[in-house]
Amino acid sequence: MAINLRYLAIFAGLIFFDLLLASDSLIVDPLLEKPWIQENLEEERRSYHRFLKISSQIPKTEYRQDRFGRNYFILPSLKLQYSIDDSYKREFPLESDGDLALAEMKALIESRKDLEALFLGKGIGLCQRIHSKKEPGFFPPWSTEAYQLSSQLYSKYEDKIEELSFRTEPYGCYEEDGGKIIALHLESETFRYSVAIPAELRYEGLFKKKPGKYRKWNRSHMRLVRFVEFLQPDRDENWDELQEAMELQETGLTSKEPRKIILTIGSTFDEEPSVRTIDTYFRFWDRERGINTKSMFDRNFTRIPDGKDYLSRFKVVDELGKVSYYMMREYYYYNSPLGFMLSLSYPETEKALGDEYWQKIRKDFRVRER
């Protein structure tokens, strides 16, 4: 009986202690009072939500990529800033992205890449002229600032005109229609020509160290540039990837040279009268490209007149000895002191595409005489 009374007393004590803890009238350390804790928790919640709201309104630096996959940033001041790093690659500006192109030009100047900046600045000016044909009076701030920066760079390198011509021409701009790139417009101030070409043809000067070829002799100037489109391999039904890889390995190679469409633009300028004539002008470019009696024989090279142009056909042997044929369309222009050569070569199997490209190029080629 005494044991039961003892358990009953303990149980009653526990109940009493629990009631004391639950009582609001219990006097404890003020810092541990429940009303204080609850009020501050609510204040913390309100402060946190205020912070989120305010921070969402604070502009932040945004990372972006342009249509060519190159990195740039939008700073809190809304200023655009390009990243000129190891992943940066040169490009012609887009007609609709003049503000981006200007930011890129400034970044190049800050990185001490003046000639690359001038190349881009000339292209920005061309973009403005292209757009102004569609919208008369179009003269945005980015065009004005690019012109000012270009003028400063010209003044800085006024004693290196030949280098300027070599490194900054032809400059260009991608024309757009409804957000789609439809053509690449090119100009040369030195050789006074302009042309619009298919945008699929990529300027070798954008991804190779040497932007074409330049030579001066006896007060004559020569410039040659190329634009390339890489095509998918042409494989027959019996093609075996493993067999091809083994054959390439035996020759010490890992891959075959891709099929290409190549546009070549050659320009000459004679400071003094030359012995050239329109009938013999093509021979100069044959020598420059290594086309001679021996190479013509080795490659089964044939050339026939085709209206005002020439049409050629020649043999190409790949790394594994497979023979294919290419076609080449050529146009020669000579009116002293200026002369031009346009040449488009493409696989014979791509004749329809090559002919389409050639018609566009020939239609849009212009020479400013004086």
pLDDT at 23: 44
For the stretch 299-355, pLDDT in tens is 999 999 999 999 999 999 887 778 889 999 999 999 988 999 999 999 999 999 999
Q: What is the pLDDT of residues 79-110, one digit of tens each?
A: 888 888 888 889 999 999 999 999 999 999 99
Q: What is the pLDDT of residue 3?
A: 45
pLDDT tens, residue by residue, 12-46: 444 444 444 444 444 445 555 555 556 655 655 55
- Per-residue pLDDT at 11: 47
* pLDDT given at position 211: 78
The larger pLDDT score, comparing residue 7 to residue 256, is at 256
**φ and ψ at 92, to 5 degrees?**
-75, 150
Its pTM stands at 0.79
The amino acid present at 126, given as its one-letter code, is: L
Instruction: Tell which wins on pLDDT, 80 or 50.
Output: 80
pLDDT of residue 130: 95
pLDDT at 55 over 60: no
Given a cut of 90, whether residue 132 has pLDDT beyond it is yes
What does the mean pLDDT of the chain come to? Answer: 83
pLDDT at residue 151 greater than cutoff 90: yes
Tell me, what's the pLDDT at 161? 78
If one compares 211 and 11, the residue with the highest pLDDT of the two is 211
pLDDT score for 49: 53
Q: What is the mean pLDDT of residues 161-170?
A: 82
Please state, as a whole number, how many other Cβ atoms lie within 10 Å of the Cβ of residue 220. Answer: 17
* Residue 274 scores a pLDDT above 90: no
Question: What's the pLDDT at 64?
Answer: 85
* Residue 50 backbone dihedrals phi, psi, to 5 degrees: -65, -40
pLDDT at 6 over 90: no
The domains found in the chain, sorted by start residue, are 58-175 (no CATH), 191-370 (3.40.1000)
Question: Per residue in 277-305, pLDDT tens?
Answer: 888 899 999 999 999 999 999 999 999 99
